[in-house]
Amino acid sequence: VPSAPSILRRSRARRGGKRVRFAQVTVYYFARRQGFTCVPSAGGSSLGMAPRHHRARRYSLSQFAHLRQVSHRQHLRQHLRREKLRARRRELTQNGTVPSAEAAGLTLADVSDDDLDVGQVEVGDYFYLQPLPTKRRRALLRASGVRRIDAEERQELRALRLSREQCGCLCRLTCEPRTCACSQAGIQCQ
């Protein structure tokens, strides 16, 4: 009886012949909703998306790469603009030259593109999924048409964050099965 050929002995030519190649990218667009499925690192108003997309677009790989690069540059420019605004506000209030109320009155419009050092930062090095403050998340939700933001989510998220900080049991040197939360849950003492 002849034995089946081993999969470990395939020739290089045969293995190299099968490759996955992509010709296009399909991007699905979803409306923004209040999340209830993620836990932001601070505050409430988690960001989520509608259950169904409202639009889909197809791009070639080169078109998609170009769009991502343009989008990343815009994100980077906005980030640098916010950082520059924070620095100006700090500078004005620390030097005492302008009352802090005037410094707080500065807006992103007061920072021009000439003030930004976009050329000094490599776009690929910038991390785009950065945490958003609660105020910005709420503003994004309102701009997306969310009329009522659930205020109870804030307390629920706070409770979740606290519960994630407390894991394991309070046993120190030896496990006390009668009082050990791990033992009572049927897992090895942590």
Q: What is the pLDDT of residues 136-170, one digit of tens each?
A: 889 999 998 888 988 888 888 888 888 777 777 87
Task: Return mean pLDDT, the chain.
Answer: 79
Question: Can you give the pTM of this predicted structure?
Answer: 0.58
**Residue 104 structural domain:** 24-149
- CA distances in angstroms from 174 to 170, 188, 190, listed in the order given: 10, 12, 11
Q: How many CA atoms lie within 13 A of 63 on its CB side?
A: 9
Following DSSP, what letter does each residue of 160-183 receive, concatenated?
HHHHHH--S----SS--TTT-HHH
Look at residue 3 in the predicted model and tell me its pLDDT: 63
Query: Is residue 106 in a domain?
Result: yes
* Rounded distance between C-alpha atoms, residue 1 and residue 129, angstroms: 59
3-state secondary structure 136-166: HHHHHHHHCCCCCCCCHHHHHHHHHHHHHHC
> Domain for residue 2, yes or no?
no
User: Is residue 160 domain-resident?
Assistant: no
Give me the mean pLDDT over the 20-32 stretch.
91
More confident of the two residues 3 and 171: 171
> pLDDT over 90 for what percent of the chain?
15
Provide the number of structural domains found in the chain.
1
> Taking Cα atoms as reference points, which of 66, 75, 18, 39 lies closest to residue 155?
39
Q: Is residue 61 part of a domain?
A: yes
Is residue 1's pLDDT more than 60?
no
Q: Is residue 158 part of a domain?
A: no
How confident is the model over 68-112, as pLDDT tens digits?
A: 888 888 878 887 788 887 777 777 776 666 566 767 777 777 777
Which amino acid, 116? L
